[in-house]
Structure 1
Amino acid sequence: MTSVPPRPPGPRDPGDAWVVAETGERYWGRFGAAGLLAFDPERGVLLQHRVGWSHHGGTWALPGGALHEGEGPLLGAIRESQEEAGVPDGAVVPRFTHVYDVGVWRYTTVVADVAEPFEPVISDPESLELAWVAPGDIDDLPLHPGFAAAWPLLRSQLAVRPAVLIDAANVVGSVPDGWWRDREGAAVRLRDRIASLASTGLPAEALSLVGEWWFPGFELVVEGVARGVHGADGVRVVAADGSGDDALVRRAASDAEDGLRVTAVTSDRELRGRLEGVGARVVGTRWLLDLLG
């Protein structure tokens, strides 16, 4: 068995400990671990060349490490990337997560898009160097075994960008809660619930995608008296100039042309056919209502 070198001295979090499987394999992080795959279409993936004393030293992997007690993998991956690579606040936007689970231990890869370009900075002793590497060149590097195993799937999903397009009038009208007395207020309440959903993400199976959780873009198409509703964090509101159905079809076609994988939400049968005709996957309003809880 390959020996595991000790961690360097310094303050320790309760999560900084090895988990030992029944097979004798050891995994770093009492509460699991997480890493960040920051992807910049122009520069590639941010990788860390691991220092020799670390586990699998000399290999290339993602900035990451042990989760703190009570810390979620999304926050943990961002914190670790900031500690190890100086990733600035707000520089990346999560797109999806992938989990490697061995029962006694889980490693979560958070795949995120670079929203604000930045230069990484070596900010702890675990890195020999940090570099942006084009996806096509990553296989040429000596990779950490865990990252090497996950990389083919992760790479296959880098081109997948989901979007959820919502027929606001149809969703609001599907629940007899008095929406007809205040259509604009009902649209605002729906927008706010979707904004909350956008912050937590969707399970991969809800979007027919691989991985664990995805963070799609949400677009809410409003019409009539609800046209005054504005967007919110994670939710773009599109005000239809005329027919809401026509606006939905135009948005779906435009998103598809931009390379987005569109899931459209409506229970209108005629509209469903039109949306499918421009390449959208269409689900009924119950799909969204169940996710909203």
Structure 2
Amino acid sequence: MSEVPPRLPPRDSGDAWVEGPDGRRYWGRYGAAGLLVHDRVAGILLQHRAEWSHFGGTWGLPGGARHAGESAVAGAIREAGEEAGVPADALAIAFTSVFDVGFWSYETVVARAARPFEPSIGDAESLELRWVPLDEVEALPLHPGFGSSWPRLRERLGETVRIVVDAANVVGSRPDGWWKDRAGAASRLLERVGALSAAGVAAREFGLPAGRIWPEYSVVLEGQARGAGTSSARGGGPRADGDASAGSAVTPEVNVVRSEGSGDDTIVAETERLTSLSWGAPATTVVITADRELAGRVAKAGAEVRGPRWLLDLLD
């Protein structure tokens, strides 16, 4: 464990208490955010808080006050980098969970470890940093806020939403001249889905608690559109939340599936593959199509079906 630097970094305008009507105080003029990093082998990364800090001596997540105009994802990654030496490019953003009291909010950013790393103390706010197995978390004296949210967060750690896009059906739902250049229209769709993959989707779209979720996307191309993009371009993007200050955290790549024959058969096969995957937590597979026959086939495979309008509204 590295030594604590002799001085704290300069204070930001967000470093202030907010007091509610009932006298309760919360840290962060613009709200606060914390980072929960989950490694399937090591557990979750916890911070033993310095005695002088709020609820000092307890264990919680690295995090703190957000800067003015800073997204929760960017703030959580910045704070975790400053306090615990967490490298942004080792994080795969999964979802966020929000605690909101109206005048103040705290957002937990949940990320999976994309590669192994060792944390290091970066300032005076930590007594210790430790990877803690999931079954041992509740044995520690937890920060009250984290302790109350941990059971719900633990249940969601393996949560996955996968979206299969019938590209031909989505592109064909708008009379914008796509038939003149099917590959070009498919390429534009891939670019837009990649941007959506980087930004995430409101969790309420999937009936999940407040926050955002980063689904995995499979876009199926067929016929003349099969050559859209390149075989190595998988979409997605390194920026979380569409915010450059979020560093190089990983967001889900867009998997391009190029059908060698029937596009419908390929979509069914991809749906069956995805619905068979499980990480021990709720998994949702959504197929985007307006084709009734195809909708019936993927529903039998365990997928939910939504029409092109749902996806296009998100893309717009």
TM range (shorter): over 0.9
Give the equivalent residue in structure 2 for 1:189. Answer: 188
Give the equivalent residue in structure 2 for 1:281. Answer: 304
Give 4+ residue runs of structure 1 displaced > 6 Å after superposition: none
Corresponding position: 1:137 with 2:136 = yes
Corresponding position: 1:224 with 2:223 = yes
Give the equivalent residue in structure 2 for 1:4. Answer: none
Q: TM-score, normalised by structure 2?
A: 0.88
Corresponding position: 1:246 with 2:265 = yes
Structure with the greater relative contact order (CA < 8 A, sep ≥ 6): 1 or 2? Answer: 2
Corresponding position: 1:266 with 2:289 = yes
- 1:107-256 alignment to 2 at 5 Å? 107-229=106-228, 230=230, 231-233=234-236, 234-256=253-275
- 1:3-14 alignment to 2 at 5 Å? 11-14=10-13
Letter of the 2:67 partner, please give it.
H
How many residues in Structure 1 have an aligned counterpart in Structure 2? 286
For 2:170 and 2:133, locate their aligned partners in 1 and report how far apart those are by CA, in whole Å.
42
Give, in angstroms, the shift of residue 165 of structure 1.
0.8
- Aligned CA distance change for structure 1 residues 10 and 198 (closer, same or farther; 3 Å): closer
Give, in angstroms, the shift of residue 10 of structure 1.
5.6
Report the 3-state secondary structure (helix = DSSP H, G, I; strand = E; otherwise coil) of the residue aligned with 1:90.
helix
Instruction: Calculate percent identity across the aligned residue pairs.
Output: 53
Letter of the 2:122 partner, please give it.
S
- Aligned CA distance change for structure 1 residues 221 and 9 (closer, same or farther; 3 Å): closer
Report the 3-state secondary structure (helix = DSSP H, G, I; strand = E; otherwise coil) of the residue aligned with 2:41.
coil
- 1:27-42 alignment to 2 at 5 Å? 27-42=26-41
Give the equivalent residue in structure 2 for 1:82. Answer: 81
List per-residue Cα deviations over 1:209-232 (Å, max 9, x = no partner): 223110111110000111112332
For 2:182 and 2:9, locate their aligned partners in 1 and report how far apart those are by CA, in whole Å.
58
Letter of the 1:287 partner, please give it.
W
CA RMSD, 1 decimal: 1.3
- 1:29-68 alignment to 2 at 5 Å? 29-68=28-67
- Aligned CA distance change for structure 1 residues 55 and 180 (closer, same or farther; 3 Å): same
In structure 2, runs of 5+ residues without a counterpart are 1-6, 237-252
For 1:274 and 1:209, locate their aligned partners in 2 and report how far apart those are by CA, in whole Å.
26
- Aligned CA distance change for structure 1 residues 136 and 9 (closer, same or farther; 3 Å): closer
Moved more, 160-169 or 128-137: 128-137
Moved more, 10-19 or 176-185: 10-19
Moved more, 231-240 or 170-179: 231-240
Letter of the 2:78 partner, please give it.
R
Give, in angstroms, the shift of residue 134 of structure 1.
1.6
Report the 3-state secondary structure (helix = DSSP H, G, I; strand = E; otherwise coil) of the residue aligned with 1:262.
strand
Letter of the 2:301 partner, please give it.
V
- Does the 8 Å CA contact 1:87/1:120 hold for their aligned counterparts? yes
For 1:213 and 1:93, locate their aligned partners in 2 and report how far apart those are by CA, in whole Å.
14
- Aligned CA distance change for structure 1 residues 157 and 245 (closer, same or farther; 3 Å): same
Give, in angstroms, the shift of residue 238 of structure 1.
0.5
List per-residue Cα deviations over 1:56-103 (Å, max 9, x = no partner): 011110000000111111100000000011011311011111111111
Report the 3-state secondary structure (helix = DSSP H, G, I; strand = E; otherwise coil) of the residue aligned with 2:89.
coil
- Does the 8 Å CA contact 1:207/1:263 hold for their aligned counterparts? no
Give the equivalent residue in structure 2 for 1:5. Answer: none
In structure 1, runs of 5+ residues without a counterpart are 1-7
- Does the 8 Å CA contact 1:29/1:65 hold for their aligned counterparts? yes
